[in-house]
Structure 1
Amino acid sequence: MPTTFPRLLLEHARQRPDAPALREKEYGIWQTLTWAQLARLVRQLAVGLAQAGLTRGQHLVVVGENRPRLYAAMLAAQSLGAVPVPLYQDAAGTEFVFPINNAEVMFAVVEDQEQVDKLLEIRPQCPQLAHIWFDDPRGLRHYSEPGLQPLDALIASGAQQEAALGPSVDAAIEATTPDDVAALFFTSGTTGHPKGVVHLHRTLIDRAMAGARFDKLTHDEEVLAYLPPAWIGQNIFSYSQWLACGYVVNCPESASTVTIDLNEIGPTYYFAPPRVFEGLLTSVMIRMEDASRMKRWLFERFMALARRVGPARMDGKPVGSLDRMAYALGNLLVYGPLRNTLGLSRVRVAYTAGEAIGPDLFSFYRSIGINLKQLYGSTETAVFVCLQPDNEARSDTVGVPIEGVEIRLADNGEILIRSPGLLQGYYKNPQATAEVLTADGWYHTGDAGFLDAGGHLKIIDRAKDVGRIKGGANDGAMFAPKYVENKLKFFPHIKEAVAFGDGRDKVCAFINIDFEAVGNWAERRNLPYAGYTDLSQKPEVVELIRDCVQKVNADLAADDKLAGSQISRFLILHKELDADDGELTRTRKVRRGHIAEKYQVLIEALYGGKAEQYIETQVRFEDGRTGMVAATLRIVDTTTFPAMRSAA
């Protein structure tokens, strides 16, 4: 039944007042907020915001990690018919200027001193930003800026005025409809300014409930909220579905304690991009390499069994009695303890999305009994478009269209979607809205792909990025950079990759090594290094990465359509690609155009046949300072393979 987020909150508070709604770890202890306590907090915040002047249709910026009182502030804004605008907490202050001015934001609720400093820094560029409330007062005692107050003061003001203004808040909740705007999400902006995606209560709640029905979610689920709240992926799992289902959302103490908190909570419903699953596995493999010979032998033997038997077992396929018994022993000795170490021992449903996940990585988790699946969606679709059924999870698809979703392929292979979860439009940008939404309700995803014989969607690349090789032996061959980059990133030693080749006679690539994984690899070989730049250019590391690239080439050679996308030359960048340097978006998507412009000299060296190239690059440090990183980069030729033609 269509509803709104504040009404969902009040319904949970009425039906299950003492059930936990949110937990936050503070000073090492988990603090619980019940649904009744949350409803009370939201009401006081709503009264306080109303007294401060926030009215229907206005915007409230929210910046910080996942914090119960920030969630409550979003609900309080929605209670007044106002619109929360979550922004990325790790963004530089200058990145806030456009969304704040674009949405004419006068009010902000932030987590701590770091976010306060950013907003005060940009205030001259955003003069309308009159009110800033902060959740964590540490370091802010002596700040005396106009309109800057602790969130406690806003709550106290709301409690004091509740008798007078409470009825108007109740009236505002009643007046808000499912077709009112619920939230404004700014896209990561791979090119130009980010766009504000407008979502209604109806669109977000419809998709949250459709996803819940698909995976049979209940109020008994436990979720760990540790990804940026500004990313709609985190928002749909720990806000929209949280309020739709009434389960418990747990907020870690800090980014550095997420792994510990994951183990303590033991979530039943888990979501992470592939890089998180890669990081978890890398930490396991590093520990196993340092384990005793007996433990390594046991691990390798049972993992070989798991790879052979585990995925079929997860898919509900028959498994021989001997294999079943051996797997049960492996579960006792290896798989169970491993799931517990990862913090995933209670997971019933785990999803990954945002990037392609490597088949070996995907198979690893499913083989040890973790129900890892893939989904497909975007900010504009309220995430849930395609999901994988429990017994049909495959690494090369993103699932089947779920309830309410229609998929159509354009003549150029672009995926078009019609769904109840589509955006209302881009905020103040009717031209961009018209480019993606057709008159009859189809959304242009910009992704190229196709539906396979089983009805599963396969994604090839961004449609605009699919190009052609021009000249040379592969003239006219298709070039899909994202497909190539993902294959490279499937290797644990490669963290990031950027492929070039459209309109050129061959494919070349920039590569970032995974500093932790390669550092451990180097240490086990007694290979000394002094930081990322030094390690990345070691001849031994270059050969390690060359081997990975050539394995990708051999794999591509087996694909009729993409054999021409094999990498002829590559270099390992002297620095990690970073969102603070404008090379990645806040969701870690490659800003291909910016990188090509910034490193034009390296691209010219790759295609000019050079063996090495000197480069100096300005970098921004976490404290805001800038510096220079310089290195002479080796340029490496690789082996490419003849295309293996399919039999006629």
Structure 2
Amino acid sequence: MTTGTADTATDARDTFPKLLAERARTSPGRPAYREKEYGIWQSHDWAHVAAEIRLFAAGLADLGFRRGDRLIVVGDNRPLLYWSMCAAQSLGGVPVPVYQDSVADELAYVVEHAGARFALAENQEQVDKLLEIQKKVPTLAVVMYQDPRGLRHYERLLSVEEVQQRGAKRLETTPDLVSSEVARGRGSDDAIMLYTSGTTGRPKGAVLSYDNLVWAAKAGADFDGLKEGDELLSYLPMAWVGDHIFSYAQCYVVGLVVNCPESAATVMTDLREIGPTYYFAPPRVLENLITQVTIRMEDAGFIKRRLFQYFMALARKVGPALLDGRPVSWLDRLLYGAGNLLIYGPLKNTLGMSRVRVAYTAGEAVGPEIFNFYRALGVNMKQLYGQTEASVFVTIHPNGEVFPDTVGKPVANVELRIAESGEVLYRSPGVFKEYFKNPQATTDTKTADGWVHTGDAGYLDERGHLRIIDRAKDVGKLNDGTLFAPKFIENKLKFFPHINEAVAFGHGRDFVAVFVNIDMVAVGDWAERRNIAYASYQELAARQEVYDLVQSEIERVNRDLAADPRMAGAQIRRFLILHKALDADDGELTRTNKVRRGFIGERYKSLVDALYGTARTAHIKVDVTFEDGRKGAIEGDVEIRDLAPHPGAGGAVPLRKAS
């Protein structure tokens, strides 16, 4: 990008453009962003960032971008894309980041619904989607791009450099163009529009103000002592509210250094090189990392494997206590120190967590075994509970009060309330303004006095910690009255590295049945070490040995359920392994990888019916979208297996009688 001159700071700090101006004035040489290009980390200080944003904002203004306009931003995590959002905000506009793996129809919906006239794409892939939808959404007038590769012969496009050149010329005649617009901004203005995951229908555009986001950034930083210069790796989708808080809002409010990886394929390498002090990962990422460690240990030599097993057993016993400052015997401290030298330290370095001071996970429930694995290593892993509508933060684990079965205590100035129905409600300064163009949904979600319905069922325990049971709408009952919490069951299944996804059925039925997706990497490695041949996911999923493996893990879940008086009657009685992986491109998952339960129930109705019948196999054919966008179909026979309930199941009846 071309370099220009930064604007003079204004006194107020209630918007991100104003915070940017202050940082450029008070800390001009401190690093703000880094990006890895061709294997080399390039650093950008605050003075450079402010100058780049000023030029781009002036260029947008020259193109006709006005206060209230919306800018679509689509691509991987790149400093320039983050800067473009601040450029739009500098003019009183509203950035609308979109998931980079969205198909054209999903992108068209967001562009049309947002009424966006301007869009910035990272590369040719995203440009192609935008040009494809222009016929459907003619209001999209200006398409800009960052990476020129493959775009030489494209017409009616503007590169970022061209936009900045226009900005430089405009600033020659109107030098206060950007600074005057920045000064007009107020904390109550719309700052960002983020589209929710849409598990039950079309995504909704949640509008968040600067007041919402600045409060959230400060509240999260104060809770865990984040400070200027703390490092994080920005690798999660820019359209997700968590990334917007961690990689954008806290960057401006706290002064975090945001590091953008070279590509999705280099994230682990880049993570090790940066060694962030502040880290976030959804449970799926944490599970995948442990799966990789497990696979490596299974392939390791005898001595190395035994050392790992011994020291990890010790770590699980004393690691969390050491992390929380609780008393531990001198012998255990000594042994843990040896383990840190031989196992924990090298392992944390491999995982890129050697310098992590605080780490969060959220989005889905994380298994206690997975959660405790990281804390045993000495990683200060915590759970947080939040939503787009809350500007992320509702509850977090305080230091010294980290329990795997809770999501922590309310952040400062967050109020919690449990409705008679068991639904969790909250109120805070981070509560969103509205759903764009959807007043009914806004009224349904947010009460007149500011309480937000989360849609989650939960309760506050005796320690004051929030415990989430399931989505309120998904909690049901079996025909005998047994509580049925599908996500609770699904998460127990997904704690096993061989199970990637699960979908449970049971409300209004006589028993619980599940679909299972295997983890191709973990099960593939398991099969390879046993000389089990396969040529595809479908072939591997159908192997009897794989069914036996999954059945043994479901039986372990049933033993856990049998030990819980509330859930003993909800043991899994029948299951099948789907012949294809659930995919967001097929509408089965959201872009944040949440199961769209209702859609799956309809799409695979014949398999659901077969689970509740007497058949041992079922045939299925479904349309699919391949990675290159082509359409096709996958069909095959899937086996259905019965399971005996574990002793202690309350109210359990023989399966055949139930059927």
C-alpha separation between the residues in 1 aligned to 2:426 and 2:625? Answer: 39
C-alpha separation between the residues in 1 aligned to 2:587 and 2:569? Answer: 30
Stretch of structure 1 that moved more, 623-632 or 229-238: 623-632
> Is 1:484 paired with 2:459?
no
User: How far 1:162 moved relative to its partner?
Assistant: 1.4
> Is 1:381 paired with 2:390?
yes
C-alpha separation between the residues in 1 aligned to 2:229 and 2:430? Answer: 25
Contact 1:47 1:166 (8 Å CA) reproduced: no
User: How far 1:609 moved relative to its partner?
Assistant: 1.6
Q: What is aligned with 2:67?
A: 56
Aligned with 1:447: secondary structure? strand
**Compared CA separation, residues 608 and 128, structure 1 to 2 (3 A):** same
Structure 2 residue corresponding to 1:517, chosen from 518, 522, 532 = 522
Q: What is aligned with 1:277?
A: 286
> Is 1:615 paired with 2:620?
yes
Aligned with 1:417: secondary structure? strand
Q: What is aligned with 1:240?
A: 249
Give runs of aligned pairs for residues 347-426 of structure 1, distance below 5 A: 347-426=356-435
Q: What is aligned with 1:559?
A: 564
Per-residue Cα deviation, 1:61-101 (whole angstroms, up to 9, x for no partner): 10011111111100000000100000000010110112111
Contact 2:607 2:618 (8 Å CA) reproduced: yes
Q: What is aligned with 1:207?
A: 216
User: How far 1:642 moved relative to its partner?
Assistant: 4.1
C-alpha separation between the residues in 2 aligned to 1:81 and 1:427? Answer: 17
Aligned with 1:619: secondary structure? strand
Q: What is aligned with 2:7?
A: none
Contact 2:571 2:649 (8 Å CA) reproduced: no
Q: What is aligned with 2:577?
A: 572
Contact 2:76 2:238 (8 Å CA) reproduced: yes
> Is 1:502 paired with 2:513?
no
Contact 2:68 2:94 (8 Å CA) reproduced: yes
User: How far 1:614 moved relative to its partner?
Assistant: 1.3
Contact 1:559 1:643 (8 Å CA) reproduced: no
Give runs of aligned pairs for residues 327-366 of structure 1, distance below 5 A: 327-366=336-375
User: How far 1:630 moved relative to its partner?
Assistant: 1.8
Compute the TM-score of the two structures, normalised by the length of structure 1: 0.97
Give runs of aligned pairs for residues 66-465 of structure 1, distance below 5 A: 66-144=77-155, 146=156, 148-465=157-474
C-alpha separation between the residues in 2 aligned to 1:642 and 1:355? Answer: 30
C-alpha separation between the residues in 2 aligned to 1:162 and 1:379? Answer: 37
Contact 1:60 1:108 (8 Å CA) reproduced: yes
> Is 1:46 paired with 2:57?
yes
Aligned with 1:124: secondary structure? coil
Stretch of structure 1 that moved more, 386-395 or 374-383: 386-395
User: How far 1:247 moved relative to its partner?
Assistant: 1.4
Using the aligned pairs only, state the percent identity. Answer: 57
Q: What is aligned with 2:591?
A: 586
C-alpha separation between the residues in 2 aligned to 1:573 and 1:214? Answer: 43
> Is 1:6 paired with 2:27?
no
Aligned with 1:214: secondary structure? helix
Aligned with 1:125: secondary structure? coil
Structure 1 residue corresponding to 2:629, chosen from 624, 629, 644 = 624
Structure 1 stretches of at least 4 aligned residues deviating more than 6 Å after TM superposition = none
> Is 1:634 paired with 2:639?
yes
What letter matches 1:516 in structure 2?
Answer: V
What letter matches 1:81 in structure 2?
Answer: G
What letter matches 1:368 in structure 2?
Answer: L
C-alpha separation between the residues in 2 aligned to 1:57 and 1:486? Answer: 42
Aligned with 2:135: secondary structure? helix
C-alpha separation between the residues in 1 aligned to 2:110 and 2:143? Answer: 16
Contact 2:13 2:19 (8 Å CA) reproduced: no
In structure 2, runs of 5+ residues without a counterpart are 1-11, 651-659
C-alpha separation between the residues in 1 aligned to 2:370 and 2:133? Answer: 42
Per-residue Cα deviation, 1:622-644 (whole angstroms, up to 9, x for no partner): 11012222221010111212447
Aligned with 2:153: secondary structure? coil
User: How far 1:172 moved relative to its partner?
Assistant: 0.9
User: How far 1:619 moved relative to its partner?
Assistant: 1.5
User: How far 1:2 moved relative to its partner?
Assistant: 6.0
C-alpha separation between the residues in 1 aligned to 2:532 and 2:198? Answer: 40
What letter matches 1:243 in structure 2?
Answer: Y
C-alpha separation between the residues in 2 aligned to 1:642 and 1:208? Answer: 49
User: How far 1:390 moved relative to its partner?
Assistant: 2.0
Structure 2 residue corresponding to 1:601, chosen from 602, 606, 620 = 606
C-alpha separation between the residues in 1 aligned to 2:439 and 2:469? Answer: 29
User: How far 1:258 moved relative to its partner?
Assistant: 0.4
Contact 2:501 2:518 (8 Å CA) reproduced: yes
RMSD: 1.0
C-alpha separation between the residues in 2 aligned to 1:166 and 1:129? Answer: 29
User: How far 1:585 moved relative to its partner?
Assistant: 0.1
What letter matches 2:15 in structure 1?
Answer: T
What letter matches 1:72 in structure 2?
Answer: W
Structure 2 residue corresponding to 1:25, chosen from 16, 29, 36 = 36
Per-residue Cα deviation, 1:154-209 (whole angstroms, up to 9, x for no partner): 11111222132331211111110000000000111112211000000000110110
What letter matches 2:436 in structure 1?
Answer: Y
Structure 1 residue corresponding to 2:546, chosen from 541, 547, 550 = 541
C-alpha separation between the residues in 1 aligned to 2:200 and 2:137? Answer: 23
C-alpha separation between the residues in 2 aligned to 1:539 and 1:498? Answer: 21
Compute the TM-score of the two structures, normalised by the length of structure 2: 0.96
What letter matches 1:500 in structure 2?
Answer: F
What letter matches 1:537 in structure 2?
Answer: A
In structure 1, runs of 5+ residues without a counterpart are none
> Is 1:65 paired with 2:70?
no
What letter matches 1:612 in structure 2?
Answer: T
C-alpha separation between the residues in 1 aligned to 2:585 and 2:60? Answer: 33
C-alpha separation between the residues in 2 aligned to 1:163 and 1:356? Answer: 54
C-alpha separation between the residues in 1 aligned to 2:416 and 2:250? Answer: 23
